[in-house]
Chain A
Amino acid sequence: MRDLYPGYDVLAKRHTPSWNEQTREVIDRRLTIARSDHRFFTEEEWATLCAICERIVPQRAEKQGFVPVAALVDNKLHTDDREGYRDAHLPKMQEAWRRGIAALNDEAQARCGAPFHELAGAEQDELLSAAACGELKCAGWKGMPSDAFFHRRVLSDVVSAYYSHPTAWNEIGWGGPASPRGYVRMDFNRRDAWEAAEAYPGHEEQARQENLRAGR
């Protein structure tokens, strides 16, 4: 991943007309969730969840900001914030996660003799890929298809959590919240001064300068 939008920070627009009070409120609440917050998962499950998140949306140490993905997923489960439908093969969201995490650990023990979070990255990826293909079938799954769990729960919940965070928005150069002020320039290659400027090779500094102005 590159620093494609250097200097861009959606949060710098917090007090511009791009944000309204209700948006500040929900984003502020999200930002209070700290990296290690968890109320739903047990310590053991939590370690596994953190490891899973690190594989699904890897975050390098040197990158700007950190998205507390695992804590966001935990928060969703704690509040039992469901999406309104459930694959007939899956139990309810909370139960699916508990069962899936336990089963992944069982599989890790069986295959490599260690819990999931202690495996090397490549081994973890291998297990997750096997889950994605529906190949994992140990007793711990209790009949829950591992592919359904991986696609409908793991991918969906982890990825949604990651991209609900302003740090992730900065990485992809999204304009972020936009009300009451929306956008004016909608044509190809046009952007408003309050949007992120992409750093084209050789123009990084220029983009940075532009991005520092996005919040003005």
Chain B
Amino acid sequence: MSREVVTSGKQIGEDQVGLGIIAAMAALALAAVLARKQKYRRLAQSSGTVTAARRLNRAAGTLAFSVLFDSAIEHYRGSFHNKAMYTPLVVSSLALAVSAHGVNDERSEMHRLRDAIYVAAAVIGAIGTGFHIYNVAKGPGGINWQSVFYGAPLGAPAAIALSGLLGAAAERIRDSDPHRPRVFGLPAGRLAAAIASLGLLGTTGEASLLHFRGAFHNPFMFLPVTLPPVSAALLAETALGKQHRSRWFTRWWLRLTTAMGFVGVCFHAYGVHRNMGGWRNWRQNVLNGPPLPAPPSFAGLALAGLAALTLVEDRPDA
């Protein structure tokens, strides 16, 4: 039997965790600096499609942010025993950086590098999902509750793919006819709504699984399995339904879902504190407690939904 000298070999220490955090912060800062160079204007002032594209960039960035920290924590837990485990960190950092760049870019044309990174993120996310499925299935007894509870999460790589997909859509929207935005030959608004809707459903699936694992011990744990499916349904209606001038209910519901995504981090921080040793024992509890960066992926997708709404409401044909 071949033995990987993992456990007794390299182990990521606290200092390296610190380095990782600093690197991530640097990625954020770089993005900000890049963005500064562009002239800053309020989103609403730019043309409709560009606004929508920038909103999609923002959504893609939020998702990438969530994935960056989530995969950092999860793969730190997995001691980066496989070199490929660094991939999501690199990819999501890049996606985060280009998203920040995109949010501040008002030009109505595709940015080649941004687009390339988004497309790469989409592809790598899809491959990562495959890896994770393989990992879950190879445990004793194959795919069972134990392996889906404690094996590699499917949602994380899928979220990278979604981030890439939304970003790629954003770039294409910039390029397309402002009166009739099309992405991959489909109406851009409806397509974005559909992606966000499916993404929300998937993320709800993952939250349900993990909150079920936590036996829904706190009633607030029902929120992320009830609000987002409604968002998903509303967005599905946006994608497929008749044309309306205004979908105020959908808009508010998506805003609520966005807020939930960010407030979720606080709930999870409280959850970490409730574990033995609380935050003082962070090296255990950040890993074994509720995942801090997970909830913002709801926010990312709800933001994508809001961007889609902008497109659909402004342009009947989008």
Contact = CB atoms under 8 A, between A and B. Distances in A.
Direct contact of A and B (CB under 8 A): yes
Interface of A: 17, 179-185, 189-195, 197-200, 203, 206-207, 210, 213, 216
Given A184-B284, A184-B288, A190 B8 contact: no
B6 A190 contact: yes
A190 B276 contact: no
B14 A193 contact: yes
B277 A197 contact: no
Nearest to B3: A189
18 contacts: A17-B277, A17-B281, A180-B280, A180-B281, A181-B276, A182-B284, A185-B7, A185-B79, A190-B6, A190-B78, A190-B79, A191-B7, A191-B11, A193-B13, A193-B14, A195-B7, A200-B8, A206-B9
A193 B10 contact: no
A206 B13 CA distance: 13
B77 A184 contact: yes
Describe B's contact surface by its main secondary structure.
loop
Given A181-B277, A193-B283, A210 B8 contact: yes
A71 B118 CA distance: 68
A210 B281 contact: no
A206 B81 contact: no
Contacts of B8: 191, 197-200, 203, 207, 210
Describe A's contact surface by its main secondary structure.
loop
A197 B280 CA distance: 24
Contacts of A191: 7-8, 11, 79
A189 B6 CA distance: 6
B258 to A, nearest CB: 32
Contacts of A17: 277, 280-281, 283-284
Given A179-B276, A193-B11, 11 more contacts: A184-B284, A185-B77, A189-B3, A191-B11, A192-B11, A193-B12, A199-B8, A200-B9, A203-B5, A206-B9, A213-B11
Contacts of A198: 7-8
B209 interface: no
Interface in B162-196: none
Nearest to B277: A180
B10 A216 contact: no
Contacts of B13: 193, 213, 216
B287 interface: yes
Contacts of B6: 189-190
B287 A184 contact: yes
A195 B8 CA distance: 9
B20 to A, nearest CB: 14
Interface in B11-44: 11-14
A190 B81 contact: yes
Contacts of B287: 184
Contacts of B3: 189, 200
A166 B12 CA distance: 25
B77 A182 contact: no
Interface in B262-318: 276-277, 280-281, 283-284, 287-288
B5 to A, nearest CB: 5
A189 B11 contact: no
A189 B288 contact: no
B281 A189 contact: no
4 closest A-B pairs by beta carbon, nearest first, are A180-B277, A198-B8, A191-B7, A197-B8
A198 B281 CA distance: 25
A181 B284 contact: yes
A192 B284 CA distance: 9
A200 B9 CA distance: 8
Interface string B70-89: 00000001110100000000
A203 B5 CA distance: 9
B77 A197 contact: no
Contacts of B7: 185, 189-191, 195, 197-198
A196 to B, nearest CB: 8
Contacts of B280: 17, 180
A213 B10 CA distance: 11
Contacts of B4: 189
A210 B10 contact: yes
A192 B280 CA distance: 17
Contact of B9 (A179, A182, A185, A210): A210
Given A17-B281, A190-B81, A203-B5, A182 B276 contact: yes
Nearest to B280: A17
A123 B218 CA distance: 67
Nearest to A210: B11
Contacts of A197: 7-9, 11
Nearest to A197: B8
A206 B276 CA distance: 31
